[in-house]
Amino acid sequence: MKKITLVFLLLISFSLGLVHAAEVKVASVSFHSKDQSYNIPKMSEISVIAAKNGAKLVVFPEMASTGFLYSSLNEAKPNLDTFPGKATAAFGKVAQQSNIYIAWGYIELDSATGVAYNSAAIVGPNGFKGNYRKHQLAVGDDNLWRAPGNLGFPVFDTPIGRIALLVCYDDTQLQSLLLPALRNADIIAYPTASLYVPKAEAGGADNHTTIGSMATMPGWIGINVVGADSSGVDVNPMSGTNLIGPAGSAIWDAQGNVLAAASATNFTDPKQPKVIYATINTSKPNPQREFWLKNRRPELYSDYNFYRPSHDGNVNKTSAQISALLVQYEPTTGAVDENSEKIEKLINDKITGQGINLAVLPFNSFIGNVTITKENASNFAEPLNGKSYNIAANLAKKYQVNLLFSMPESTDGKLYETAILFDFKGKQIGLYRKSHLNAVEKTWATAGNELPVFNSPLGRIGILLNDEVRIPEVTDMYMLKRANLLLVPVAYNQKEYGGDVKVPKGLIFEESNKGMFIWFSMAQHSQAHTLVANYVRGAHGDIGQSALYSLVPEEGFYPPSIAPKNKEIAHQVVFATNQNLNLWTNQQQKVVERIWQAALPLTLDKDNACLQEWQKNSTSPLICKGAYQ
């Protein structure tokens, strides 16, 4: 009797969404949208087939049920929908009969206000339905007759997991993914329609391949993503230009692995509806997300709450020509003299007769990639103006380069992980103390309490030390503080975090489809050139691959420049800042477009009553409602 009662209670709990299925089969559909009379029956038919193939969640592209190439609200009106509306009624029947969840994009007309939104909805069995309105609207496109979303970032608790919705251009802002993740979302259903024209035609530089851009994000945020993109060829009614939906719909797990990907389309082969399937496991251990949530420091992220316009006094729009050396070498643990001599030789071999103006050294630059602990920290820490400091300053002066190195610092009885930036005269122009410490560092080091950006002749410079690249908010803060460069000394062996860039084939140039996905995404989302210096081999088994990541690597204009995997080298990279203003995005555009009012939860401590209420009521757009106002 007790066993029967327990089973009954579990069934009840599951039906109420209190117990989640660990493994869930999902489907993503590359779909060519027309008008409602075609779209809704066709999408219903595809959903039934997907359910018969075992899918419990089916995701369709952006504006799939209504169509989307409308130049005005009046032109779109015959195909607009409401929530609830035609699509929720039709798909709701399918969801009930097939016991599945269906998510899709549509153009929503709010019947109470007459305002239109670019929305996504989800329906399921037993009358379940949820709605989301796209926040991030592309300047000059989405926002011509549609309004930014006002429903927040809801997370819907279902028996197959906690599901959030995002739409297309939402992916341009890290906060769009961080907010649902902070609400403990298991899955993001991601409808998109990234239409594009050939690179050779006018407007080709404005293309934004959203599936390609999203590809490096799931493993950084630690969340499963089901992305569905449009397919087929259409004509833009405003310009008469042919546009193609690239398809390439993809499914990623929370570790960043591509579980399934549809083939990409082109103008000579505009493939029609294609359904892909994968099984995701929402209970699988998620070390990256755990690290992020445990070590994030909301008190340092107050810039999220402020609107930073284009006339922000911190902006540096001057183009700087940069020729940098990213020094990677095999260290001898603790041998400061030996290691510094090796570094100097690598620099000297490259710098003769060339105009190098920047050098970046690996993490704890002269002592090697040894793990520092409470027991050995005092053996490696040095004061400012001590031996290692002066070696680095003299290198900068001797070779007339701006130089960044890092070391364990001992000052006034406290220990820090510290980076020092010198100008070409060997003068200190920046000092950064690591602000996000990992579990081992917390046993011996004191955290810095600032995320400073340093002005230099090369532009505005932000610094991240080693594994604090795992905290996405740091990248966002440097974007909002208008850094031109991110300098990243690391000791990276690809075991604790990260992994290779794996954009589904055919969506971006293969020359760009490489590197480490976190560093790749940092450059995208900060719109700051990101320079990483790593070791090879040594005590930590590091892999090299020091690299420059550009502002738009996903579009192939400036592919990553990556040093060999296990070679000692001062890897030279040459580039110019502030040269991407004619491409699909830039830092100023990202800063101005950001819906800053939505970011407040990211700045609240985990014990804050407002944050806890927001997390508990996971579909509410409000913060600090009721007693907390």
**What angle, rounded to 10 degrees, do the helices at 174-182 and 472-480 form?**
140
What letter would DSSP give residue 149? P
Q: Is 442 a catalytic residue?
A: no
Beta strands in 443-535 (DSSP E): 453-456, 459-463, 485-489, 529-533
Catalytic pick from 42, 56, 62, 473? 62
Residue 290, judged by CB atoms within 10 A of its CB (0-12, 13-18, 19+), counts as exposed
Best CA proximity match to 164, nearest among 103, 210, 254: 103
State the sign of the Cα–Cα–Cα–Cα dihedral 245, 246, 248, 251.
negative
Catalytic pick from 25, 42, 56, 168? 168
Which residue is it, tokens 């089916």? Answer: 58
Taking each continuous run of H as one helix and of E as one strand, the counts in the chain are 15, 28
Best CA proximity match to 231, nearest among 61, 48, 43, 39: 61
Which residue is it, tokens 């569905």? Answer: 228
Catalytic pick from 134, 350, 434, 502? 134
463/481 Cα distance (integer angstroms): 12
Amino acid occupying residue 457: P
Best CA proximity match to 391, nearest among 403, 378, 377: 403
Q: Is 134 a catalytic residue?
A: yes
User: What is the distance, to the nearest Å, from the Cα of residue 76 to the centroid of all Cα atoms in its chain?
Assistant: 32
Beta strands in 31-97 (DSSP E): 57-59
Q: Is 510 a catalytic residue?
A: no
309/312 Cα distance (integer angstroms): 6
Q: Which residues are catalytic?
A: 62, 134, 168
